[in-house]
Amino acid sequence: MEIILAKKAGFCFGVQKAIDMVYDEANSSNNNIYTYGPIIHNEEVVSDLESKGVKAINFDEKELNDLSDCTVVIRSHGVGKNIYDSLEQKNCDVVDATCPFVKKIHNIVKEESEKGKTIIIVGSEYHPEVEGIKGWVNGDAFIVDNEEDARGIDLDSNTPVCIVSQTTYNPEKFAKLVEIIGEKGYDSNVVNTICNATNERQKEAKEIAGKVDAMIVIGGKNSSNTQKLYEICKNECENTFYIQTAKDMD
């Protein structure tokens, strides 16, 4: 039996950087260490960090009020400006592990919305990265994840809009949704913010899935990246399996 391992398999640059930063803090800081949500949607990594005393919390109002003398690591997905403001008020030490490519989107939507443009974010509405991007918009933003969402946008023609994408979004879906929005006659500034590493992984996965008898996609069950890779592979190879650990093969 021949086994093909994707050359792009593994964590992307932004995620690996965030993971390394948390481990560095765990090994060097005397503070209580928290991550804003799971540092990565991978239960194996999160569990190992918990064994080192790192807690992942979602910071509802009560959790935020209880914080003191701690270090908070912002995960690679990023967060909205209000979270930074809240942590500053609590005098928390903040370690910002936001992916540089995500941080770039924050800057884009902040600047473009301050110019009066309507922001359209192509991505999954409740994904933490999208929630973080929205948190840098001056005003409201539209979240578009399917053709129905795109067709449902109702603005005056020639309205200035800026369209960005979740970094892990499917490039083909992004192009299709941008096409639908473009038919509305808005004054559109389209910024393709899909991460190149994501694009390359998806292309490679599609290519491999198209020539094998079975495909295995390994990743966290809550990982948007892994879910999208699974969808792409499943379209090419019916025998595609989504697993998290070797135990799932039993």
Separation of alpha carbons 215 and 198, rounded Å: 18
CA 55 to chain centre: 20
- Based on the residue annotation, tell me whether 129 is a catalytic residue of this protein: yes
**Cβ atoms of residues 150 and 181 within 8 Å:** yes
The helix/strand/coil state of 95 is strand
Catalytic residue among 112, 129, 147, 207: 129
Concatenating the DSSP letter of every residue in 116-181 gives: TPEEEEES-TT-HHHHHHHTT-SS-EEEE-SHHHHHH----TT-EEEEEE-TTS-HHHHHHHHHHH
Tell me the catalytic residues. Answer: 129
